[in-house]
Structure formats: structure tokens, C-alpha cells
Amino acid sequence: MGNLVAIVGRPNVGKSTLFNRLTKTRQAIVNEEAGTTRDRQYGKVEWTGQEFSIVDTGGWVVNSDDIFEEEIRKQVMLAIDEADVILFVVDVQNGVTDLDEQVATILRRAKVPVILVSNKTDNNDLIYSSAEFYALGLGDPFSISAISGSGTGDLLDLILSKFQKKVEEIVDEEIPRFAVVGRPNAGKSSIINAFIGEERNIVTEIAGTTRDSIYTRYDKFGFDFYLVDTAGIRKKNKVTEDLEFYSVMRSIRAIENSDVCILMLDATRGIEGQDLNIFSLVQRNQKGLVVVVNKWDLVENKSDKVMKEFESAIRDRFAPFVDFPIIFASALTKQRIFKVLEAAKEVFHNRTTRIPTARLNEEMLPLIEAYPPPSIKGKYIKIKYCTQLPNTRVPSFVYFANLPQYVKEPYKRFLENKMREKWNLTGTPINVYIRQK
Ligand code: GDP
Ligand code: GDP
């Protein structure tokens, strides 16, 4: 189960600079569209072979100069609830401010480990100035310069050392783990209730760790599955419910611990930024996806045409990943609830698809011959062989080429689309790699 680190602190202390520095190596690998806001909110960090997630609480604020103290307070409280380690960033060139003290007051009471990060320590003299942060009552300030990167390696070591050993919950790998995600009021609690009915239908409550158990196993309508983090979804927090930050923090954990995410959209509202952000979290974690257009009972014109338009609008917004089930449902009337579970189960199976090498080559090589990668600088690119990699999280394929560096993204997408036409890979991300023959 993944660890989550939250960066908190008042505006302009260097939170986002630190976030970028810590996530940089990884970001370059995942090949995201550059510069979208969601890249500033959530990222993955890899350090000495360990991976964890990190959120910048400041990334949610549109204009950080105008931020209200109240809002910072809410974000800090939420970070305490959800994160495994908190990085409390202060600015050594500015010294202790009132707002720092207010944040420190909240953090001193927290049970989560807090690392006090004295940023902008660009030279040795400033290390001495850091001493004034002892007054915050959060232990030794850890001096770094996010801009130059100095101290950040040691900071990462320190973060890893603070993660508590988690008791792994024992789950049956054969049984799918579903997470219901979506923005507030999309109908997550309602659909969960529709899935499971009364509390007494719970098959087993897995003995949890110190926190609430994150998996609950159900056996309903002939489906055997775990629901991830339903307690977190049901435990509503009036103070923070309205914040996008809240729904994203809550979602991260659920998504990371699932196989398939059931993304709830509100039919009466269309697709908004928040939906896309949650979708992007699902994508980045390479989880399976089923989209539910909920509250379908409220839509007056339910013609095929309207449905088709809805579908293509969704796929347009989620492109280039478009191969996933979309179910028009109502958590209230329970219309198509069964279909949602059915689709989620199918996606779970698609994630474990194995295509025998002989079949893969038989189908794909003639296609490649007919539509070869475009030649570049007069050089012909030949792909002679392909195979699926064993033991991967999602189906991953290697195509061997004489000049792999010349096979570009559009051609990889072409290969992906053709595989999706030939095999049932609906709802699961797949990876296509080109390697040297
Ligand atoms: P945030 O509002 O807390 O996310 O702060 P930003 O990351 O946006 O940084 C605020 C300002 O401080 C920017 O101008 C940064 O370039 C600057 N800054 C961040 N880290 C450092 C640092 O280590 N040293 C110095 N001198 N400036 C920094
Ligand atoms: P959550 O915040 O995502 O857990 O959303 P809830 O399940 O609490 O639902 C938010 C509101 O939408 C509640 O008032 C529900 O009764 C209502 N709601 C949820 N699903 C449906 C639906 O399918 N149809 C209608 N008409 N209302 C719904």
C-alpha cells in the first residue's frame, strides 16, 4: 500500500519548487502533457528504489497571494488526516511569520510525522538563521534549497525513514479490487449503497491496521469483489467537502489500492476540470477504468442520439485513452447497477490479458508490413517481432525494431489501437515499447 506525502506551508515559501524538484525525474518518464495544473498537485517520487506519492497543497490555490488563512488551515487539517508524512515548508530568508506559527500549532498536535523544512537555505550562513525555526516546536529544521536542489537527497532519505511499516492487508489476488471515485456529489456513496445494500451483506471485514481497513469484501449479485476505502467515502467531512483538494486527496489512496476505478460523472453537470483531474490520477496509476454517467434518471431526453453524444463528448475529453466502458446509470433507481459491476469485472480480466507470442505476431506483423513506420531521413524502419512482457501490472508489449528511436508516438498509438481492435483490452491501459532488435 502506497505512502502519501503532503507539502504544506504558507504561500511563496517554495512548496511548488520543492514539489517540482522531488517529482522531476519521474515526471520526465511518465510523459505527461506538460504544464497542466494537475501536474502541480500530484506526482510520484522514486528514490533508492522506493516509490511514493506526493501532493502540493498549494497547487490547489489559484492565486496563492490571496489565499485565506482559513483555507490553509483546512488544507493542513486534511493533510494530517490523509498523509503519511507532512513536509512543513518555511522560508529561512523571511523568518518565522504569524501564519507559520498558526500552521505549526495545528501540526504540533498531529500524530503524523512532520518534517520542518527550512527552504531557501541557499548558502551556509543561512543554515545558522534556520535555528530560529526551533521556536515552532517541531524539532530540528531541515535545511534545503529547493531551487538548487541542495539537501533534497538527504531530505528524501529522511522522508523514507519516517514511513511506518505497514501491515500489508491480505487480499485474495484473484478477487478484483474496485474503487468508486469522482467529485463530491457525483453519487459515490449512493452507488456504493446500491451495490451492497445493507451493511450486513459484508462478507468479511479484513482486520485492519491502526487505520480503518481499506478493503471490504462483498459477494453480491454473483460478483465477488473488494471495495476500496468505502469508509473514507462515507465519512463525510462538512468542513472540507467543497474543496477539490479534499476529493483528490481522498481519491489518491483509493485509486492506488485498486485494480479498477469506477469513475462517477454527474449526468446533469457534464465533464468538468475535477473529473479530468481524477481521471488523470487513474491513468497515471495505470488502473482499469469504467465510467458511470450517474443520475441518468434526471435526464429527460434519453434517446440513443443523446447517449451517443454524451459518449463521444466523454471520449473526446479523455483522449487519447478512449477504450473504456461507459455506463448510463442511476444510483437512485438502481438502473444498470448490475452492468457497472459487470463492466468492472470485465476490465479486471482485461488487465490480466495474455496474448500468446505466436498469435500476436501472426496478427500484427502483416499489419506492420502493410503499414510500416514512416521512414526517416531515408532510413527504413523494420519491425520483425513482438512479444508480451511477463509479470507486468497491465498488458505490456515490446516491438523489436532496427531503429527504435525513429518509431514515434503516433505509430505506437497505431499499434495500440490495432491491438485494441483485435483483443478485448477495454478499460485497461496498455504499454507499447519499441526496443532494439
Ligand atoms: P509556493 O507558493 O510555496 O509554492 O512557492 P513557490 O515554489 O512558487 O516559490 C516562491 C518563490 O520562491 C519563487 O520565486 C521561487 O523561485 C522562490 N524559491 C523557491 N525555492 C527557493 C530556494 O530554495 N531559494 C531561493 N532563493 N528561492 C526559492
Ligand atoms: P458523493 O458525494 O459522490 O458520495 O454523492 P452522494 O452519493 O452523497 O450523492 C449526492 C446527491 O446526489 C445526493 O443527494 C443523492 O441522493 C443524489 N444522487 C446520487 N445518485 C443519484 C441518482 O442516480 N439520481 C438522482 N436523481 N440523484 C442521485
The reported pLDDT for the residue numbered 207 is 41
The reported pLDDT for the residue numbered 38 is 46
- Residue bearing the bigger pLDDT, 121 or 1: 121
The reported pLDDT for the residue numbered 40 is 57
- Residue bearing the bigger pLDDT, 342 or 167: 342
The pick from 180, 181, 185 for probing ligand 2's pocket by mutation, whose C-beta has the most ligand atoms within 8 angstroms, reads 185
The pick from 147, 150, 152, 155 for probing ligand 1's pocket by mutation, whose C-beta has the most ligand atoms within 8 angstroms, reads 147
Stretch 213-237: mean pLDDT, rounded?
72
Q: How far is the CA of 155 from the centre of ligand 1 (A)?
A: 17
Q: How far is the CA of 184 from the centre of ligand 2 (A)?
A: 9
DSSP 348: H
Residues 84 and 164 sit within 8 Å (Cβ to Cβ): yes
For ligand 2, whether the C-beta of 335 sits within 6 Å is no
For ligand 2, whether the C-beta of 332 sits within 6 Å is yes
Residues 381 and 372 sit within 8 Å (Cβ to Cβ): yes
Q: How many helices (H) and strands (E) does the chain have?
A: 14, 16
Q: What share of the chain is helix, strand, coil (3-state, %, to 5)?
A: 40, 20, 35
- Residue bearing the bigger pLDDT, 269 or 203: 269
Q: How far is the CA of 3 from the centre of ligand 1 (A)?
A: 25
35/366 Cα distance (integer angstroms): 39
Q: How far is the CA of 189 from the centre of ligand 2 (A)?
A: 7
Give bridge partners of residue 383 from the DSSP assignment: 401
301/267 Cα distance (integer angstroms): 12
Q: Is the pLDDT of residue 227 over 80?
A: yes
Stretch 20-36: mean pLDDT, rounded?
54
> Which residue type does 124 have?
N
The reported pLDDT for the residue numbered 170 is 67
Stretch 229-240: mean pLDDT, rounded?
55
Q: For residue 283, name the pLDDT band (cuts at 50, 70, 90).
A: very high
Q: Strands 177-182, 202-205: parallel, antiparallel or unpaired by DSSP?
A: unpaired
Q: How far is the CA of 122 from the centre of ligand 1 (A)?
A: 11
The reported pLDDT for the residue numbered 136 is 96
DSSP 73: H
The reported pLDDT for the residue numbered 68 is 64
The reported pLDDT for the residue numbered 208 is 37
Residues 260 and 348 sit within 8 Å (Cβ to Cβ): yes
Stretch 265-271: mean pLDDT, rounded?
92
For ligand 1, whether the C-beta of 117 sits within 6 Å is no
Stretch 81-108: mean pLDDT, rounded?
93
| % of the chain surpassing 90 pLDDT | 57
Residues 48 and 81 sit within 8 Å (Cβ to Cβ): no
90/96 Cα distance (integer angstroms): 8
Pinpoint the alpha helices (H) of 163-289.
188-196, 230-234, 244-256, 273-284
Helix (H, G, I), strand (E, B), or coil: what is residue 204? strand
Q: Strands 177-182, 260-266: parallel, antiparallel or unpaired by DSSP?
A: parallel
The reported pLDDT for the residue numbered 379 is 87
Element (H, E) at 214: none
Question: From the centroid of its chain, how far is CA 86?
Answer: 19
169/205 Cα distance (integer angstroms): 11
Q: Is the pLDDT of residue 231 over 60?
A: no
- Which range has highest mean pLDDT (50-59, 77-86, 279-288, 412-421)? 412-421
The reported pLDDT for the residue numbered 201 is 38
The reported pLDDT for the residue numbered 92 is 97
- Residue bearing the bigger pLDDT, 59 or 62: 59
Return the half-sphere exposure (C-beta side, CA atoms, 13 A cut-off) of residue 357: 10
386/24 Cα distance (integer angstroms): 31
Helix (H, G, I), strand (E, B), or coil: what is residue 52? strand
Stretch 125-140: mean pLDDT, rounded?
93
- Residue bearing the bigger pLDDT, 39 or 340: 340
Return the half-sphere exposure (C-beta side, CA atoms, 13 A cut-off) of residue 409: 3
Atom of ligand 2 nearest to the CA of 233: 4
For ligand 1, whether the C-beta of 147 sits within 6 Å is yes
Q: Is the pLDDT of residue 232 over 80?
A: no
- With 0-12 / 13-18 / 19 or more C-beta atoms within 10 angstroms meaning exposed / middle / buried, residue 402 is middle
Q: For residue 325, name the pLDDT band (cuts at 50, 70, 90).
A: very high
- Residue bearing the bigger pLDDT, 274 or 133: 133
Q: CA torsion sign, 337 to 339 to 341 to 347?
A: negative
- Residue bearing the bigger pLDDT, 76 or 212: 76
The reported pLDDT for the residue numbered 73 is 80
3/44 Cα distance (integer angstroms): 10
Q: For residue 203, name the pLDDT band (cuts at 50, 70, 90).
A: very low
Q: Is the pLDDT of residue 115 over 80?
A: yes
Q: Is the pLDDT of residue 108 over 90?
A: yes
Atom of ligand 2 nearest to the CA of 241: 2
